[in-house]
Amino acid sequence: MTNPNKPKRTYNSARRKAQARKTRQSIADAARKLFSQRGYNGATIEAVAQEAGVAPETVYATFGGKRKILLHLLNIAIGGDDEAIPILERPVPQMVFREKDQHQQLRMFARDIAVIMERAAPVFEIMHVAAKTEPEIAELLQNILQERWRNMEIVVRRFADNGSLREGLSVEQGADTIWTLTSAEVFLLLTTERGWSKEQYSDWVADSLIRLLLP
């Protein structure tokens, strides 16, 4: 006979959330590995599921498909974690914005970009290759690059708040300059093809931007 006064077992939501997050991380890690090894097209949901040790249905239930997995990988590569915080609202960009010396701002910005691109450039490369044959990835990439340009425009405006830009240089041209120099393609050319260290890349970006943007 059951005891009617016995307290019911409480539902451990924290444990369930932790397990869900672990599963999400396992799927993301598996997808990153397979996207790098086989490309976006070659990494099927079934292969990702097998690598992660879960059922394909779990992958679909967690992410909804490969496109969202790839976007998730890029977001955590750019932000450094899976928190839903816009990149310009994160601690380091905010520190850059608070700095009043333009030269120091650009050096701080370059160091942060080097850290971000070390994580994100390989994911951008996967996305660029997939975009050649996958229209939905091409559209996603275009949207991401446009958003990246808008962020660079904000960055230039914040630099301009602390002093003049180079004579004749518009904010839009400044955004084009930063957007190009800090692209994944340039990062990979210098660090992969030329063997530069992250520190060499950071110094080059800072020196280049100081010459190109400031009086």
Number of domains in the chain: 2
Note whether 42 and 82 are same-domain residues. Answer: no
Q: Look up the domain containing 164 and give its range.
A: 66-213
d(CA 65, CA 142): 19
Note whether 30 and 70 are same-domain residues. Answer: no
pLDDT value for 1: 46
Encoded tokens for 32: 């990153």
Note whether 39 and 125 are same-domain residues. Answer: no
CATH at 22: 1.10.10.60
Note whether 105 and 166 are same-domain residues. Answer: yes
- Could you say which DSSP state residue 88 is in? G
Note whether 118 and 165 are same-domain residues. Answer: yes
Other beta carbons within 10 angstroms of residue 85's beta carbon come to 12
Per residue in 74-96, pLDDT (tens digit) is 999 999 998 889 999 999 999 99
Best CA proximity match to 43, nearest among 145, 117, 116, 137: 137
Per residue in 145-159, pLDDT (tens digit) is 999 999 999 999 999
CATH at 127: 1.10.357.10
d(CA 182, CA 157): 17
Per residue in 36-86, pLDDT (tens digit) is 999 999 999 999 999 999 999 999 999 999 999 999 999 999 999 988 899
State the pTM of this model: 0.88
- Please check whether residue 5 lies inside any domain of the structure: no
